[in-house]
Amino acid sequence: MSRGHAFPSGFIWGAATSAYQVEGYPLADGAGPSIWHRFAHTPGRVAGGATGDLACGHYHRFREDVALMAELGLSAYRFSIAWGRVLPDGRGRVNRKGLDFYLRLVDALLEHDIQPMVTLYHWDLPAALQERGGWLDPDSAVWFADYAQILFRALDDRVQAWVTINEPWVVAVLGHLEGVHAPGHRDAREAVRVMHHLLLAHAEACATYGALGRHQIGIALNLEPQHPASDSEADRAAADRRDAFINGWLLDPLFHGRYPEAMADIFGSAWPDFPSTEIDRIRCPADFLGVNYYSRGWVRDDPAVQPTGAARIERPNAPVTAMGWEVYPRGLTEILLRLKTQYGNPPVYITENGAAFEDSAPTAGRVEDPRRVAYLREHIGAAGAAIQAGADLRGYFVWSLLDNFEWAEGYAKRFGLFRVDPSDQSRLPKASAECYKDIIASHGAGL
Ligand SMILES: OC[C@@H]1[C@@H](O)[C@H](O)[C@@H](O)c2[nH]c(CCc3ccccc3)c[n+]21
């Protein structure tokens, strides 16, 4: 008897992308530049000097890509809207041509019975707003809510699920603490305030949506279990600090209306005394939680690592992806059941899960990617196990539909179900696309 995790009949099977990573032509039709356009065009910031100028050419090829999604049998497609296409200056004048691109994309999806899940912010802040201080400016929550309202009014009759912000942690930490993502700042005092303003922006957008929206709205968080590399007290404490730093910093204000105590220890004098009225506002009634799951942290105490004093190390002999992330499907079950036991079992979508591997060269019009096939099967099985244990999991989105611009890694790291040929942007199905098509057709039976 197979363990056959029969997923609920209404379970959503999707794939995900983001604007700057797949669209290309970031300045077309009156669009304003984003901080990622500026960052990628700054020498030394992105591997190989890659930029999103072409990416996958999705801006012009979107109908072809929607047809690929329909061929897979996807019930939903998660994509992000480039703020600067709609509001070239980030605020004020709406660029009708920019908005029209997303109206056409949504209509193409609906023509194929594919539900759009729209991410309002996937890291590409209009450069004009960065010049006003970006997410460090307390007005950023208002800028974001005003932008969101324009999209709600234009699309809420056709969009069933909205994600406000993709991974505030990455924006705050990689963008403002470690400086490896746009805008490339390295300042702990900035990073903690940027995180707070991102959460306030999420809350303002939820409040705006509550007044006029008819469907669901949520936020997408990168969540990652942290396990001590030994059973020493020092390593256990280090894993707890890194757990607060990556998971609790977001989950606790959103679901419990407070930041973890550990944040003040981790950030010391850089951690301000945030007004409780603002933290109360962050605990907003969102409809679902998006979980972006990739791996777990294997953690050792290391005072040299700032700000947590906790090092994420490679576990000896562990299977890893091309990103160096351990393949650890059980971590997905663990995260989903922790949301059930500690955070009120909210409705959850796995808004991203996938892997980059050194794919083999195409043969006979196809790419054999056995490790990605195994990764997806194991993680979808792990999601099914969480459902069996009572998690309120509503859907699963593979990261990613297409090989695309992997931020500071450029195009060298390929996460796609479809290979994109760098020379002509042609799409080629991988074995993982066929595998996912079969999983969808069988509702995940047998995994
Ligand atoms: O790295 C793969 C994907 C990105 O392409 C997505 O845009 C982003 O939402 C996303 N988040 C994560 C996990 C957090 C993370 C992001 C970037 C770099 C390292 C870790 C992995 N991914």
- Report the nearest-CA residue for atom 18 of ligand 1: 170
Mean pLDDT of the chain: 97
Q: Whole-angstrom Cα distance, residue 273 to residue 237?
A: 24
- Pocket mutation for ligand 1, best pick of 164, 167, 411 (most atoms within 8 Å of C-beta): 167
Ligand 1 centre distance from Cα of residue 125 (Å): 17
Active site residue 409: no
Ligand 1 centre distance from Cα of residue 115 (Å): 23
Cβ(321) – ligand 1 distance below 6 Å: no
Residue 83: its H or E element = helix 83-86
Output the pLDDT for position 402.
98
Q: Whole-angstrom Cα distance, residue 331 to residue 161?
A: 26
Output the pLDDT for position 270.
98
Of residues 374, 361, 364, 354, the one with CA closest to residue 417? 354
Looking from the CA of 287 toward its CB, the CA atoms found within 13 Å total: 16
ipTM above 0.85, yes or no: yes
Residue 434: its H or E element = helix 431-441
Task: Retrieve residue 368's tokens.
Answer: 């054999």
Cβ(415) – ligand 1 distance below 6 Å: yes
Cβ(334) – ligand 1 distance below 6 Å: no
DSSP 159-196: -SEEEEEE-HHIIIIIHHTS-SSTT----HHHHHHHHH
Active site residue 352: yes
- What residues in the chain have per-residue pLDDT under 70? 1-6
Ligand 1 centre distance from Cα of residue 140 (Å): 23
Ligand 1 centre distance from Cα of residue 119 (Å): 14
The DSSP output letter for 103 is H
What phi-psi label fits residue 425: left (phi over 0), alpha (psi between -120 and 50 degrees) or beta? Answer: left
- Pocket mutation for ligand 1, best pick of 20, 36, 294, 325 (most atoms within 8 Å of C-beta): 294
- Report the nearest-CA residue for atom 5 of ligand 1: 406
Task: Retrieve residue 63's tokens.
Answer: 């109908």
Coil vs helix vs strand at 209? helix
Q: Whole-angstrom Cα distance, residue 219 to residue 163?
A: 5
> Which residues, other chains included, contact 166 with Cβ-Cβ below 8 Å and sequence gap of 6+?
18, 80, 119, 121, 122, 123, 220, 290, 292, 351
Output the pLDDT for position 9.
87
Residue type, 245: F
CA distances from 36 to 120, 124, 195, 275 (A): 15, 6, 18, 31
Cβ(326) – ligand 1 distance below 6 Å: no
Helices H / strands E in the chain, number of each: 17, 13
Of residues 333, 305, 321, 342, the one with CA closest to residue 412? 321
- The 10 Å Cβ neighbour count of residue 305 is 17
Catalytic one among 23, 167, 190, 334? 167
From the alpha carbon of 400, which atom of ligand 1 is closest? 5
Output the pLDDT for position 285.
76
